[in-house]
């Protein structure tokens, strides 16, 4: 969603290009509501690292 795109743009500015591409770009927004933003990782390794 739009919120996730805004967050990603902010992270892209704050992180080195290689780190953003490696850790943030593969993530996707699964759902957004008024209480949470749920992010989906491509596999368990990514999920464990991000958590």
Tokens of 20: 């953003």
pLDDT of residue 34: 86
Rounded average pLDDT over 7-32: 95
User: How many Cβ atoms sit within 10 Å of the Cβ of residue 24?
Assistant: 16
Q: What are the structural domains of the chain? A: 2-50 (3.30.300.180)
Question: What pTM value is reported for the model?
Answer: 0.78
pLDDT of residue 49: 87
Tokens of 21: 């591409």
pLDDT of residue 30: 92
């Amino acid at each position: 969603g739009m919120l996730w795109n805004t967050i990603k743009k902010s992270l892209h500015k704050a992180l080195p290009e290689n780190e953003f591409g490696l850790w943030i770009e593969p993530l996707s927004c699964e759902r957004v509501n008024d209480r949470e933003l749920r992010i989906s990782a491509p596999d368990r390794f990514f999920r464990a690292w991000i958590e």
